Structure 1
Amino acid sequence: MFSLMANCCSWLKRWQEPVRKVTLIMVGLDNAGKTATVRGIQGESPEDVAPTVGFSKIDLKQGRFEVTIFDLGGGKRIRNIWRNYYAESYGVIFVVDSSDIARMEETKQAMIEVLNSPKISGKPMLVMVL
């Protein structure tokens, strides 16, 4: 009987815990596979993905977490907007297209720019090599 009460109390305690909201940004060069990756996470088909103009916002729920992923466009002209999302993000997902050897130096420079931002300092970064 005591065990049943203890289980009920622990369930009630977990039920009352607040939902934790986490915001992540997904960045990388254009055509690196960011949007296809997000679609895969959502359980959708990553086929027929059009280039992201600006950004797209994806909301997911994982247990007690509400996760928002901002899939930011990676074209040269749009990369300057990335820094507008740094302060609000919990972490960064940087996507690298390992088959695009000709753009590795450009990828390196984009990653250096992200890492040099003081608003990213101390935040986790996942580097996804696709």
Structure 2
Amino acid sequence: MFSLMANCCSWLKRWQEPVRKVTLIMVGLDNAGKTATVRGIQGESPEDVAPTVGFSKIDLKQGRFEVTIFDLGGGKRIRNIWRNYYAESYGVIFVVDSSDIARMEETKQAMIEVLNSPKISGKPVLVAEHNLFLFS
């Protein structure tokens, strides 16, 4: 009987917990697979993805969390806007195309810029590998 009451109290406590909102940013070089990765997270097919112009916003619900992911474009000219999203984000997902060996140095420099920002300091950073063959 006590176990049943404890379970009911536990359920009631969780039910009353407020929804937590979390904002993440997804960055990486252009054509690294950021949008395909987001589609995979959403349970959608990562095929036939068009390049992101500017950014796209994805809203997900996971349990008591409302997660917003800003999929930011990775072209050289648009990378300047990434820093505008650092302050409001709870964490960063940095996508690396592991099959694009020719751009590894450029990827490294972009990652260093992100990690050196004071607005990223102390926040979790996930480095996600995207390879075309992973989704085949």
TM-score class, shorter: over 0.9
CA distance in 1, matches of 2:77, 2:86: 18
The residue number in structure 2 matching 1:112 is 112
Unaligned ranges ≥5, structure 2: 128-136
Q: C-alpha displacement at 1:3, in angstroms?
A: 2.6
Q: CA deviation at 1:97?
A: 0.5
**TM-superposed deviation, 1:64:** 1.1
Deviation string 1:15-57 (CA, Å, 9 cap, x unpaired) is: 0011111110000000000000000111111111000000000
Cα RMSD after superposing both structures: 0.8
SS of equivalent residue, structure 2 residue 123? coil
State the secondary structure of the residue aligned to 2:21.
strand
TM-score (norm 1): 0.95
Structure 1 residue 2: deviation in Å? Answer: 2.9
Displacement after TM superposition at 1:6 (Å): 2.1
2:125 maps to which residue?
125
SS in structure 2 of the partner of residue 24 of structure 1: strand
Structure 1 gap ranges (5+): none
Matched positions, count:
127
Deviation above 4 Å: which 4+ runs of structure 1?
Answer: none
How far apart in 2 are the matches of 1:76 and 1:5? 58
Q: Spell out the pairing of 1:24-35 with structure 2 (5 A cutoff).
A: 24-35=24-35
Normalized against structure 2, the TM-score is what? 0.91
Alpha-carbon distance, 1:86 to partner: 0.1
**What does the per-residue CA deviation read over 1:61-117, in whole Å, with 9 as the maximum and x for residues that have no partner?**
111111110000000000000000000000000000011111111001100110111
Task: Give the CA deviation at 1:7.
Answer: 1.7
